Homo-oligomer: A and B are copies of this chain.
Amino acid sequence: MDVPIYIYIALIAGVVSIIAAIYFRNLVMKADPGNERMQEVSGYIDSGARTFIKVQYKVLFIFVFVIAAALLFLPSPLENSERMFVFLNWEQSLVYIIGSIASMWAGYLGMQVGVKANTRSAQGCTIGTKEGFNVAFLGGCVMGLAVVGVALIGVSLVYMIFLSPFVVLGFSFGASSVALFMKCGGGIYTKTADVGADLVGKAEYDLPEDDPRNPATIADNVGDNVGDIAGMGSDLFDSYVASIVASMILATALIVGESLPIFIILPIILCGIGLFASLAGIFIIKWFGSEEPGKALNSGTYLATLLFAGLGFVIIYMMTLDYPRFAIRLWRVYLATVIGLLSGIIIGFTSDYYTRDDKKPTRSIAEAAEEGHAVVILSGFSYGLISVVPPAIGLVIAMTIAYILDGVFGVGMAAVGMLAIVGTIVANDAYGPIVDNARGIAEQGDLGDEVIRTADRLDSAGNTAKAITKGFAIGAANLTVVALMFSFAEEAGTEFIDLISIEVLIGAFIGVIAPALFSALLVQSVQRNAGKMVREIRRQFEENPKILTGEEAADFNKCIAIATRGALRELVFPSIISIIIPLAVGALFGVAALGAFLAGAILSGFVFAIFMSNSGGSWDNAKKFIEDGNLGGKGTDAHKASITGDTVGDPFKDTAGPSINTLLVVMSLTATIFMGFLLAFNHGAGLLSVFL
């Protein structure tokens, strides 16, 4: 089967994007890194982040090695089938390793620039908003472009070489393994430091945010980088590749005859177009710059969306000239991707509504803080759950329309569309922690109130962007795992997954519980680690009172070590269960039950992910609203209660909530990739099928 020439769109887009990333990196490095103290702080953050990544990657290498070996020696999913693609397992195993290394490399590159951009953005703020914004934005773009460029080049090349979506699946699984570690580990790290710093520094000693006397301040800043830049980047790398591969598998299963070669690479082509759209959007924003960072970020998203729709239209039109017989189907699939992208943006903006402090929900939560700690929790809890409804409706409508347009393949392509402009999304998202850090560095580098206020303005735009991208990421991941579930079912050859049969119902039951258990374990990890951090901070303050007077420096390395070690230790159990549980369900109850397990996990995962992200986001903003002087401002009982809300929300929104995405992708890919293994148990009916 020849690969249509259109695939080069994706390859070229990937290469251009890597070049642009390197160009932006150089621009960032050329900017003024500020005074000595700032460089010192930035250096600490840099080395803390490197230490974490190094330790993390070491463990990851072992994990990847074990899984690669398992892939090599386990029965191949397709050995005994008569599908069109048959391959030896070494290919999937090798590509798995390549996928994980690619993801690690992209994450490392992006984060490396992030930790350089922070101090330079802080210095930029001494000139003006525009200058501060530009550096941070470019730093974010490096991450966004590196992630998408590497992913797209990887997927295209793997497909061009092996000509099998199932080998690409290996690449995707590699990216997923990395994402699981980076997201859980980074999430635990960042909140261990943040919660610990707040509980002692803010609550007990009344230190301001980012105060250099607080021993956990540097660890907190490191956490923003490893959790929010590297973690979120690897998460979206993962979803991005998974959405492509899910659609490719669906194409091979559903589309027969001579139209297959073009439809099988359509996800790759459209992602290439999306990458060009993201690039164009980024250059336009960079060109015009902006005094209003929030607007600039949003207009980048809008621009990329419009350009995607326009460029996509042109390319699809060209393709219809080459393949007139498939014209109608090409247009339908194109519409499905546009619908997917639009719904992603709508979902993102509902998250924004529920977390903005000028809208009713967050305002009510802030007011609830006046009635005490318990009421602010109840209020955030209920709004968080209610906020699940609008994005769910958005997702249901998108799925329905996409299904009407081109069946299950349409649903897969809607996921591709949602993730097509992921370059912009990751860039906006990585901007957040950079300016967050910049604010901290401005504070620690004594740049004065005016500059801190400018940095605050940048930070607040980052928070809004983060809320939107988080909603977006959850929506996209969910649509992707729905596509993965369909491709799993196609792959398993199950004609239907019947909910009325007991093993399927049990599979769905376990699936519904899995995300709840997973988030509980992560929240508990953060709580346990933060407890250690709290004790360490208290110890330092008590043993050396000069730290509090500012005469002597706090020992922030101890705090970094606690966060690093804790994050690694705590991520082991959740990571293992995310692979063990689907395998156990499949082996015991059969592949139909495993399909239902995935469905249950996807649906309940959506609820928990949105609930936790949004409740956490609005508690955070309710606190900021009060700190801005509303409802009595800082120091009041309402403020204290709002801090309680924020602290509860921290592991919700930055650890557990966003990790659920990765969990879902890993579980879906595990199910698909270990199919051959599962089919060994009573031909896929499961060990217990003799009784049931």
Chain A interface (Cβ within 8 Å of chain B)? 195, 199, 203, 368, 371-375, 377-379, 381-386, 388-389, 392, 395-396, 399-400, 403-404, 408, 411, 482, 486, 489, 494, 496-502, 504-506, 508-510, 512-513, 516-517, 519-521, 523-524, 526-527, 530-531, 534, 595-596, 599-600, 603-604, 606-607, 611, 641, 643-645, 647-648, 651, 688, 691-692
Contacts and interface: CB of A to CB of B under 8 A. Distances in A.
Contact of A388 (B368, B408, B489, B516): B516
22 contacts: A372-B644, A372-B647, A373-B641, A374-B643, A375-B530, A378-B526, A383-B524, A385-B519, A386-B520, A386-B524, A388-B513, A392-B513, A399-B502, A399-B505, A400-B692, A408-B500, A489-B500, A494-B500, A496-B496, A498-B499, A508-B599, A512-B603
A641 B648 CA distance: 13
A641 B408 CA distance: 50
Nearest to A508: B603
Nearest to A496: B498
A517 B372 contact: no
Contacts of A595: 499-500
A335 to B, nearest CB: 14
A644 B411 CA distance: 45
A394 to B, nearest CB: 12
B692 A368 contact: no
A377 B378 contact: no
Given A378-B651, A411-B502, A644-B372, A509 B603 contact: yes
A500 B509 contact: no
Given A374-B647, A396-B509, A499-B599, 15 more contacts: A203-B372, A373-B644, A382-B520, A386-B517, A392-B509, A400-B506, A496-B499, A496-B501, A497-B498, A497-B500, A498-B498, A499-B596, A508-B600, A509-B603, A512-B606
A404 B692 contact: yes
A508 B505 CA distance: 12
Which A-B residue pairs are the 6 nearest by beta carbons? A374-B647, A385-B520, A496-B498, A497-B499, A512-B603, A382-B520
A496 B496 CA distance: 8
A603 B511 CA distance: 9
A372 to B, nearest CB: 6
A524 to B, nearest CB: 4
A516 B607 contact: yes
A652 to B, nearest CB: 9
A506 B395 CA distance: 9
Contact of A502 (B372, B400, B526, B691): B400
A523 B378 contact: yes
Main secondary structure of the interface of A (DSSP, over half): helix
Contacts of A648: 374, 377-378, 381
A575 to B, nearest CB: 17
B386 A691 contact: no
A691 B404 contact: yes
A170 to B, nearest CB: 24
A232 B607 CA distance: 28
Contacts of A374: 195, 199, 643-645, 647-648
Q: How many copies does the complex hold?
A: 2
Contacts of A534: 371
B644 A527 contact: no
A639 to B, nearest CB: 13
A691 B397 CA distance: 13
Contacts of A378: 523-524, 526-527, 647-648, 651
Contact of A604 (B379, B504, B510, B604): B604
Given A375-B199, A377-B648, A400 B513 contact: no
Nearest to A524: B382
Nearest to A505: B599
Contact of A523 (B382, B494, B508, B643): B382
Nearest to A204: B372
Contact of A510 (B386, B396, B502, B517): B396
A137 to B, nearest CB: 33
Contacts of A644: 372-374, 377, 644
A371 B531 contact: yes
A684 to B, nearest CB: 15
Nearest to A482: B505
A574 to B, nearest CB: 12
Nearest to A407: B502
Contact of A603 (B382, B385, B523, B600): B600
A125 B444 CA distance: 65
A647 B651 CA distance: 21
A501 B589 CA distance: 21
A214 to B, nearest CB: 16
Contacts of A604: 512, 603-604, 607
A611 B506 CA distance: 19
A240 B501 CA distance: 24
A607 B512 contact: yes
Contact of A386 (B399, B502, B521, B599): B521
Contacts of A692: 400, 403-404
